[in-house]
Amino acid sequence: MKAKVEIGSQIYNIDLARPLDISLSLRGDAKNPIAWYLGAPVIAPVKNGDFIGKVSQGASVNFNNITFNPHGHGTHTECVGHISQEFFSINQTLKNFFYMARLISVEPLKSGGDQVISEEQISAKIGKNEVEALVIRTLPNYIEKRSRKYSHTNWPYLEEAAARYIRECGVKHLLIDLPSVDKEKDNGKLLAHKAFWNYPKNTRFDATITELIYVPNSIADGEYLLNLQIASFENDATPSKPVVYKLQ
Helix (H) / strand (E) element for 173: namely strand 173-176
Residue 38 lies in a domain: no
Pair 115, 106: CB distance under 8 Å: no
Q: Mark out the alpha helices in 45-152 (DSSP H runs).
A: 90-93, 119-123
Which CATH number does the domain housing residue 209 bear? 3.50.30.50
Burial class (CB in 10 A: 0-12, 13-18, 19+), 213: buried
Domain count across the chain = 1
Pair 34, 42: CB distance under 8 Å: no
Residue 49 lies in a domain: no
Residue 163 lies in a domain: yes
Residue 52 lies in a domain: no
* Torsion of Cα atoms, 147 then 75 then 135 then 106, to 10°: -30
Q: Of 99, 97, 87, 93, nearest to 205 (Cα)?
A: 93
Residue 80 lies in a domain: yes
Q: Of 167, 234, 173, 169, nearest to 206 (Cα)?
A: 173
Q: Of 15, 182, 247, nearest to 174 (Cα)?
A: 182
Residue 53 lies in a domain: no
Residue 64 lies in a domain: no
Q: Of 37, 34, 63, nearest to 48 (Cα)?
A: 63
pLDDT tens for each residue of the chain, 248 residues long: 788 877 667 888 999 999 999 999 999 999 999 999 999 999 999 999 999 999 999 999 999 999 999 999 999 999 999 999 999 999 999 999 999 999 999 999 999 999 999 999 999 999 999 999 999 999 999 999 999 999 999 999 999 999 999 999 999 999 999 999 999 999 999 999 999 999 999 999 999 999 999 999 999 999 999 999 999 999 999 999 999 999 98
Residue 39 lies in a domain: no
Domain span including residue 112: 2-25+70-246
The overall pTM is greater than 0.95:
yes
Could you give the count of Cα atoms lying within 13 Å of 106 in the half-sphere of its Cβ? 29
Query: What Rg do the C-alpha atoms of the chain give, in angstroms?
Result: 19
CA distances from 84 to 69, 187, 197, 223 (A): 19, 16, 11, 32
Digit-coded pLDDT (tens) for 24-63? 999 999 999 999 999 999 999 999 999 999 999 999 999 9
- What is the structure's pLDDT at 2? 82
